[in-house]
Structure 1
Amino acid sequence: MSTVAEESAVIAKTKELCAEIAADPEFIRLQKSVETFLGDDAARLQYQSVHQRGEELHQKKHAGIELSDAEIRDFEAARETLFQNKIVLNFLQAQKELEELQSEIGKYVGMTLELGRVPTDEEMEESHSGGGCCGGHGGGGCGC
């Protein structure tokens, strides 16, 4: 029977982990921050506008076009205003924490698949500090 078969013990435990994550009060709080942001048209528009302007300035700079002081000031002012929006700040923090959670879970699973056992706390610490296989980036195929 395949390890990834719908009825396998690995998939059953994965589903349990997912249920545990979904029920975690901190995860629920983070999801609520994301949902609040997504439901607030003004906050989303403000965020998108600043993000888009930042991308435009980055592309201009990358293309060798010098940015004017006014362009930089305008962008920084818009960005500062954006960071005063509590809904946006909560969204950005939630997004960061959710990405960290996803990364941490991925590292545990990845290292388990590489090592053939659950990694120790020390091995996890090494992966965070850039040590371990492939400089802590994991992922096989690197001659480790």
Structure 2
Amino acid sequence: MTLLAETSAVMTKTRELCAAIADDAHFTKLQQAVERFLSDDGARLMYQTVHQRGEELHHKQHSGVKLAPTEIREFEAARDALMSNEVAAAFLDAQDELESLQKTIGKYVNMTLELGRVPTEQDIAESEKGGCCGGGGCGC
């Protein structure tokens, strides 16, 4: 039997982890914030506008073009308005937290595969500082 077989211990525990995440009250709250944002056309449009304008300014700046103070002020005002929108702010917070959860779980799984054991707190701390397996400096 392989690790990916439907009845393997690894797949059973993977489904248990997924169930624990899906059943968590805080996760449900984060999902609701995302769904609320997706159903709010005004918040979505505001987000898209700020995101696109930020990309435009970023590309302009990296092309060597100096940004005009009015461009910066207008962008900052739009960003501030976005952050003061309760639905959009909750979405952005939820998005950050969900991405952090995904990265943390991924880090543990990746380090387990690399180390051949469950990573310790010290292993995780070293990887965050760019240590052996985090920075790739030891051939991991």
Question: Do they superpose with TM above 0.5?
Answer: yes
Aligned mates of 2:54, 2:16 — CA distance in 1: 41
Aligned to 1:105: 105
Aligned to 1:143: 139
Instruction: Decide whether the 8 Å contact of 2:30 with 2:94 is kept in 1.
Output: yes
Aligned mates of 1:83, 1:13 — CA distance in 2: 38
Aligned mates of 2:28, 2:92 — CA distance in 1: 15
Aligned to 1:47: 47
CA deviation string 1:79-107 (max 9, x = no partner)? 11111111111111111111111111111
Instruction: Decide whether the 8 Å contact of 2:128 with 2:134 is kept in 1.
Output: no
Q: Once the 2 structures are TM-superposed, how far is the Cα of residue 38 of structure 1 from its aligned partner?
A: 0.7
Q: Once the 2 structures are TM-superposed, how far is the Cα of residue 126 of structure 1 from its aligned partner?
A: 1.9
Aligned to 2:78: 78
Letter in 2 for 1:71: E
Aligned to 1:128: 128
Aligned mates of 1:43, 1:24 — CA distance in 2: 26
Unaligned runs of 5+ in 2: none
Aligned mates of 2:3, 2:105 — CA distance in 1: 19
Q: Secondary structure at the match of 1:67?
A: coil
Give the aligned length: 140
Which of structure 1's runs of 4+ aligned residues deviate more than 6 A? Answer: none
Letter in 2 for 1:63: S
Letter in 1 for 2:88: V
Between 1:47-56 and 1:116-125, the stretch displaced more is: 116-125
CA RMSD after TM alignment: 1.7
1:27-46 to structure 2, matched below 5 A, reads 27-46=27-46
Letter in 1 for 2:98: L
Percent of aligned positions that are identical: 61
Aligned mates of 1:134, 1:117 — CA distance in 2: 15
Unaligned runs of 5+ in 1: none
Letter in 1 for 2:96: K
Aligned mates of 1:37, 1:66 — CA distance in 2: 34
Aligned mates of 1:68, 1:82 — CA distance in 2: 21
Q: Once the 2 structures are TM-superposed, how far is the Cα of residue 134 of structure 1 from its aligned partner?
A: 4.1
